[in-house]
Copies of this chain bind each other. A is one copy, B any other.
Amino acid sequence: MLIRPLTAGDRAMIAEMLETCGGFNREEISVALEVFDEGIASGRPDDYALFGAAEQGRLQGYICVGLVPLTESSWDMYWLCIHPAARRLGVGRALVAHAEGHVMRHGGRRLAAQTSGRPDYAPVRAFYAALGYEVMGRIPDYFRDGDDGVFYCRVLVPTAPRRPPPGALSRPRPGA
């Protein structure tokens, strides 16, 4: 699986994926494509950064993250979509990990995500929980009646760079 930045040429495949994945209504698909267009047009790394996961040239999912305006280092996961044929293959997990790396490389320290509290979204909530995202709040009926908003956030801790074991630098080299 290759994870790469999306380009304008991916639009048709993204539109098809949003249609077939079954998780989004007409308005959501239209907003997702607006966000895609803005991200591609902007080209700024903190403004709707878009990454896709491809297998043999075919997109299996994509993610969109961006810096939350007026925050110094809080990013939001604006969109995450996995092709139905590619579910349970670790595509979502790989996309989130890649996006988290991007966020950290650009100074981000936390990544927020929101999803629905509906029973059919239990797998999505379990997915975020498994990746270390914590529920920071919940608003009843946020999206519509019976459809709560559940708000997640994860503090991103950069992996320590590989360094020589303690003492390695002062240890005499063989033959020294």
Within 8 Å of chain B (Cβ to Cβ): is A144?
yes
> Interface residue tally of chain A, by bracket?
20 to 34
Q: From residue A102, how far is it (CB to closest CB) to chain B in Å?
A: 19
Minimum CB distance partner of A137 in chain B: B137
Using CB atoms, name the residue of chain B closest to A151: B137
Q: Is A112 at the interface (CB under 8 A from chain B)?
A: yes
Contact code string A44-78 (vs B, CB < 8 Å = 1, else 0): 00000000000000000000000001111110000
- Give chain A's interface residues, CB within 8 Å of chain B: 27-28, 31, 69-74, 109-110, 112, 136-145, 149, 151, 153, 155
Task: Identify 24 residue pairs between A and B in the complex whose beta-carbon atoms are under 8 Å apart, listed by A's number.
Answer: A28-B70, A31-B70, A71-B142, A71-B143, A71-B144, A71-B149, A72-B143, A73-B141, A73-B144, A74-B139, A74-B142, A74-B149, A109-B141, A110-B139, A110-B142, A112-B139, A136-B137, A136-B138, A136-B139, A137-B137, A137-B138, A137-B151, A140-B155, A151-B151
6 nearest interchain CB pairs?
A137-B137, A72-B144, A136-B137, A71-B143, A136-B139, A74-B142
